[in-house]
Amino acid sequence: MNEFADAAVLASKLVLHADATLLEIVRRSLEVSLAAVGCASVLGLSAGALLAVTRFPGRKLCIILTNALMGLPPVVVGLLVYLSLSRTGPFGGWGLLFTPTAMVIAQIVLITPIICALSRQTLEDLWLEYAEQLRSLRVTAFGSLRTLLWEARYSLLTAILAGFGRAIAEVGAVLIVGGNIAHVTRVMTTTIALETSRGDLALALALGFILITIAMLVNGTTFVLRELADCDAR
């Protein structure tokens, strides 16, 4: 108990004094996850919008697949990306394994299905409501898509935040493809795992505080966005 209290005090000091190591890890975490969310948003929203408004053979299968992929286990994603990027893998020549880029790729694979599935549902409901009116106004296909994305902005931001929450908090995938190398690929979650097993609880706890704060911020923002979306939809 005493040890825990000591660690907590030390952790608070690390946070309050903006410890350099701590900041570096937090910054890398945010960089990796934000980059992944950026790419996954472009991919996921485009795919979600296409699935929502187009009709083609195999569409249902795509939707089922996307929904199923939402629950991808991070370690499996890590393993698959590891195999693809390792020397003998198909993309081994790029030399990306154990770099932040590899971590970004793994997180993209992990969260694109989440953003795609959530945005598909939102956009499809909206399309049902708007399709006739937009056709009546002779809005082009591209214009309709733009209108849909704008009209659903709050719900789509919620979907993106769900992706971000998943990316920033996962440990399995980034640990495998990043290798948890100090000053290169060490992020909050991998550091917590490592420092806990090494017994350096202060740094692990300090990072834990920050991670929890970020998670709460994300959830709070999601709540506010939902309220805004409800206001808009009424």
Partner 1 sequence: MLVSALPIPFRNSCPILPLTCVEVDYQIGTTVLLEALSFTLSAGGPTVILGPNGAGKTLALKLCHGLINPTRGTLRWSDAAHDMPGRQAMVFQRPVMLRRSVAANIEYGLAVHKVPAPQRAERVKTMLELTGLVALAGRSARVLSSGEQQRLALARAWAMQPEVLFLDEPTANLDPAATSAVEELIIAIAATGTKVVLSTHDLQQARRFAAQILFLHRGRLLESSAADDFFKQPRSAAATAFLRGELWW
Based on CB atoms, which residue is closest to partner 1, 55 or 234? Answer: 234
| 3-state secondary structure at position 188 | helix
Q: According to CB under 8 A, which one of 135, 141, 216, 227 is a site residue for partner 1?
A: 135
Region binding partner 1 by CB under 8 A among candidate stretches 67-75, 114-122, 211-219, 226-234: 226-234
Nearer to partner 1, 173 or 229 (CB): 229
Cβ of residue 149: shortest distance to partner 1, in angstroms?
12
Torsion of the alpha carbons at 215, 221, 223 and 229, rounded to the nearest 10: -150
| Inter-CA distances, 139 with 27, 123, 136, Å | 43, 17, 8
Q: Which stretch binds partner 1 (CB under 8 A): 89-97, 125-133, 161-169, 170-178?
A: 125-133
CB of 148 to partner 1, least distance (A): 10
Query: Is 233 near partner 1 (CB under 8 A)?
Result: yes
Query: In degrees, to the nearest 5, what angle opens at C-alpha 101 toward C-alphas 72 and 103?
Result: 30
Q: Which residues contact 99 (CB under 8 A, 6 or more apart)?
A: 178, 184, 185
Q: How far is the CB of 123 from partner 1 (least distance, A)?
A: 13
Q: Which of 136, 142, 183, 199 binds partner 1 (CB under 8 A)?
A: 136
Among 77, 151, 162, 177, binds partner 1 (CB under 8 A): 151
Of 67, 86, 147, 221, which lies in the binding site for partner 1, with binding defined by CB under 8 A? Answer: 147
Q: What is the rounded distance in angstroms from the CA atom of residue 155 to the CA atom of residue 176?
A: 32
Q: Sign of torsion, CA 56 57 63 69?
A: negative
* Nearest of 122, 120, 118 to residue 159 by alpha carbon: 118
Helix (H, G, I), strand (E, B), or coil: what is residue 18? coil
Total of residues contacting partner 1 (CB under 8 A): 16
The alpha carbon dihedral of 120, 122, 126, 128 has a sign of: positive
Would you tell me which residues interact with partner 1 (CB under 8 A)? 129-130, 132-133, 135-139, 143, 147, 151, 231-234
